[in-house]
Amino acid sequence: MNKSNYVYSFMLKIQTILNDPNFQDAIVYRADIHAIVILDKKKLEKEVFPVYFTRLKFEDFVNHLIDFGFNEIIDENGYIAFEHPIFNPKDNESIPKIKKQKKTKPKTKVKVRISDNRTSLIPSRRNNSFNHPNVIDKSSFDVLEAKIDKLAAINDHLIEKMKYFENTISPMIVANYQDSILSSSSNVIANLPELNRTSQSNYLIPFNLANYSNYQTPFNLFGSNDHEMIEGNQENEENERNQGNERNQGNERNEENERNEENERNQGNERNEENEAIKKN
């Protein structure tokens, strides 16, 4: 038997099975989707196939249909189906038009099959994988789907929380931190005159916070009031320096006058001693 005769013989048997009312609860043809629908796989293997085929397994049956141009689909009720645009068991002329398709390099694809009581992952039609080890119950599939939905809802909730933190909480933290920095800097600026003077002299420590008033920081450490405070402290320091210089100059003048007076006294004493010496002679 050549290939064309084998295809014709196989499809005639499928036509006979589909037109037999005794097997309507195991396999049927739906004209609205142009597909053969599998309703009961176990009954198909144990009761139907032995009547028409010798040692035909369900996986071989599926491979034959796909080789003959049928496409594997899932109908709206979750049953496995095989559609073909030409085949119709009520039309005898459609049977000779079914041809074996040319073999192409199999592609690894993952399909999800959902039936009334099971969900299976089927990588390829060529590896006899209908009873794939990655088969899970539909109830387990529903539980996993519910968990995924719950995780998605949690993710959306976290995104909303992050937006709330960025728009509300974060500015409040920045404002509080800025107030704390301003308070600390004000205390430092208020104590600058004491920090800049030494107990031994009017020598100024070479550090002036005013020089850093324009320093760019992540927060505005020096506002307009702070600049006025710094300028006032600078004027006070300048006045203190001037007063210190005036005191120093006054002290120097007093010391100079004292030295002059002492010199004059010494010169007067020397003249008196000379006069006395002259008188004695």
The string of pLDDT tens digits covering residues 170-221 is: 777 777 776 777 676 666 666 655 555 544 444 444 445 445 444 444 444 4
Residue 38 contacts residue 85 (beta carbons within 8 Å): no
Rounded to two decimals, the pTM is 0.38
- Give residue 206's pLDDT: 47
- List pLDDT tens digits, range 92-112: 999 999 988 876 665 555 454
Instruction: Name the CATH code of domain 3-103 (choices 3.40.190.10, 1.10.1370.30, 1.10.10.10, 3.40.50.11810).
Output: 1.10.10.10
Residue 159, number of CB atoms within 10 A of its CB: 10
Q: Where are the domains of the chain?
A: 3-103, 144-272
Residue 195 phi, psi (nearest 5): -70, -30
